[in-house]
Structure 1
């Protein structure tokens, strides 16, 4: 079985990225995938003629550009891009240093922007393509104590995806922001969830959240990454792809609660807040 479409997936050595890559290969798609450690990636995925494992530093535009070039050289085109690489950060805003906060933005936000800049020339040339940016329900609702910086990075992903979709639509290119709830991946493992170097005892709710995520929620998440991958592939194959793709009943529940909260605040203050134009 062969699918002539080409996928480029970042952060593919574990988690949702790895599950998606395996699923795509089983369906016969050509797949280029990136990781900081190409040996880990190759070992996790296995050997396939339609698979191109790439060692990429997403913080380096040169490294990203080289990987995109290798993908086009091998497969001849580039149809679907999944900006999946990223990591969690759990700490109160006061606790996290400037360096810790900026590093989370570098990977979760600027790494994806580097990829977008380097894949769009090929997609513009083709006048086709679809970019999936993996955000989180935490990129739509920030009501999670201790996840302020992480949520901020994912809100940024959602925001630039909305603008991207408007910018590239006339060029025949699509963009979708994926906003999953809790899925049973390695996301909450110590190597994927950073915590503050200098915690502050006063933030009991944050410590409780940290303990819950590391000890109770980890490996008990309700979402199946295999099914999440199936949904992403279905969206890619659809002619009616959404701009916002919420994944999981928990994501839907939290999104609906956020929408209701916003509508309630708007209505409560509407009379005063809309009486602001020049008379």
Structure 2
């Protein structure tokens, strides 16, 4: 997928800070976009960026798969995710389901939606956003979050190993720190150690444009400072 100007890319989590930066980067490169998100955030994204399709879907719902299968795309960039902190000994089944439903199940359904077309055309790319805690396999007060993001990474890397001979590749993006979003700034995270979403967006574009022989399966992006 060396030429983004001839590609159609599905972007999930449309309207979020990272997805917004990715959408702008891909639009600038000439890609056609399919935006997947929810409610007002999706509407704002659709107002900012031209899209061939705008799908208001809850990717935790298995019914979303049928809707996604009606759209033919060359790549999926999955940015849906959430973070929650809790003490390990206080975590509940509900906490576990919330983290895995948002961080892993949404990816599973998105992949199930786009994969049939990619396999038919013998070409496709799946990019998922994990986290620095998953890359390190640890994080204080983040056992469930880390486990869910590690599951996402393992799923994409296994998908890559299984399907690369059929033309479908995978790549995991690891932000090695907090992303610069309004919510993270309001939370008081040190601004000097936030990762610029535009830098992450450029990393996504880089992964998407690698030829088969130079494909990258994992990218770690660090804060500037």
> Would the aligned equivalents of 2:175 and 2:221 in 1 still touch at CA under 8 Å?
yes
Name the structure 2 match of 1:94: 89
TM-score by length of 2: 0.88
Q: Tell me the distance in 1 between the aligned counterparts of 2:11 and 2:198.
A: 16
Distance 1:3 1:10, change over 3 A: same
Partner of 1:24, secondary structure, is: helix
Does residue 1:243 correspond to 2:217, yes or no?
Answer: yes
> What does residue range 148-227 of structure 1 map to in structure 2 within 5 Å?
148-182=143-177, 183-186=179-182, 188=184, 214-217=187-190, 219-227=191-199
Name the structure 1 match of 2:201: 229
> Would the aligned equivalents of 1:85 and 1:108 in 2 still touch at CA under 8 Å?
yes
Larger radius of gyration: 1
Partner of 1:122, secondary structure, is: helix
> Would the aligned equivalents of 2:80 and 2:103 in 1 still touch at CA under 8 Å?
yes
Q: Tell me the distance in 2 between the aligned counterparts of 1:64 and 1:47.
A: 26
Is there any run of 5+ residues in structure 1 with no aligned partner, and where? 73-77, 191-213, 251-279
Q: Tell me the distance in 1 between the aligned counterparts of 2:16 and 2:49.
A: 17
Distance 1:95 1:62, change over 3 A: same
Partner of 1:3, secondary structure, is: helix
* Aligned-residue offset at 1:80: 1.2
Q: Tell me the distance in 2 between the aligned counterparts of 1:52 and 1:220.
A: 37
Partner of 2:170, secondary structure, is: strand
> Would the aligned equivalents of 2:172 and 2:218 in 1 still touch at CA under 8 Å?
yes
Partner of 1:61, secondary structure, is: coil
**What is the total number of aligned residue pairs between the two structures?**
218
Partner of 2:127, secondary structure, is: strand
Q: Tell me the distance in 1 between the aligned counterparts of 2:48 and 2:94.
A: 38
Does residue 1:64 correspond to 2:60, yes or no?
Answer: no
Q: Tell me the distance in 2 between the aligned counterparts of 1:27 and 1:161.
A: 25
Cα displacement string for residues 12-59 of structure 1 (whole angstroms, at most 9, x for unaligned residues): 21121121012212322100111121x422224525554422101101
Q: Tell me the distance in 2 between the aligned counterparts of 1:66 and 1:216.
A: 38
Q: Tell me the distance in 2 between the aligned counterparts of 1:50 and 1:235.
A: 21
Of residues 93, 106, 110, the one that matches 1:115 is 110
Name the structure 2 match of 1:259: none
Cα displacement string for residues 201-242 of structure 1 (whole angstroms, at most 9, x for unaligned residues): xxxxxxxxxxxxx3233x554321112101210121111121
* Aligned-residue offset at 1:96: 2.0
Is there any run of 5+ residues in structure 2 with no aligned partner, and where? none
Distance 1:28 1:107, change over 3 A: same
> Would the aligned equivalents of 1:18 and 1:45 in 2 still touch at CA under 8 Å?
no
TM-score by length of 1: 0.72
